Amino acid sequence: MAGDLDDVASLTKAFEGAYGAYCVTNFWEHFFWRERDGSGARPGPGGQEGGRKHAIWSTFEDTRKAFPLSDSRMPTLKGKYKVPHFDAKAEADHFFRDLGVPTTFLLTSFYWDNLIGFGMGPKKGPDGKLAFVLPMGNKKLPGIAVEDIGKCAFGNFQAF
């Protein structure tokens, strides 16, 4: 059953009788504003009262914890974001807490598939050698393959 984030009635119907809900938004569809109003973070109207035993919210870290708005090393966008698709999702976390539905906050971070889908893969340098370069110094890059997200969500539902 499909639901439309802009149509609460369709979400109610889609979640009817469901044990749980895996909730995710597409930043690239609306450029992050959907999370701000909570429409992307709806585990079904009524939350626990609607029968949901567990929700999984695909979210991200709030980058402003590492780079406050006053930090000039990274630009501030729209007056309140450092990395909009991370920060806006993190702001929406409270919708799940407010509903009282037991929730797993699944922080997927970097999708390895972006190396292909967004053309971020290795590029040939002037020396002809392939290199994958991100300006991260010696920091580690956590990531996940999209196909593994469903497996992680399924494992979470089995645990509850």
Q: What backbone torsions phi and psi does residue 151 show, to the nearest 5 degrees?
A: -65, -40
pLDDT 10s digits, 53-101:
788 988 888 999 999 999 999 999 888 889 888 888 888 888 888 877 8
What predicted TM-score, i.e. pTM, was given to this entire model? 0.77
pLDDT digits over 28-60, tens only? 776 655 555 555 555 554 455 456 678 898 888
- pLDDT tens, position by position, 121-143: 889 999 999 998 888 889 888 88
> In terms of DSSP H, where are the helices of 79-145?
84-99, 114-117
Integer CA distances (angstroms), 106 to 1, 77, 109, 136, 142, in order: 23, 25, 9, 23, 13
* C-alpha to C-alpha distance for 6 and 3, rounded to whole angstroms: 9
Residues 6+ apart with CB under 8 A from 105: 57, 59, 93, 96
CB 23 within 8 A of CB 35: no
Of the pLDDT bands very low, low, confident and very high (cuts 50, 70, 90), residue 13 is: confident
For residue 41, count CB atoms less than 10 angstroms from its CB and return exposed for 0-12, middle for 13-18, buried for 19 or more.
buried
Spans of all domains in the chain: 8-159
The rounded distance, in Å, linking the Cα atoms of 59 and 47 is 18
- Which residues, including other chains, have CB under 8 Å from residue 35's CB and lie 6 or more apart? 25, 41, 88, 89, 91, 92
Q: Given this structure, which CATH class describes domain 8-159? A: alpha beta
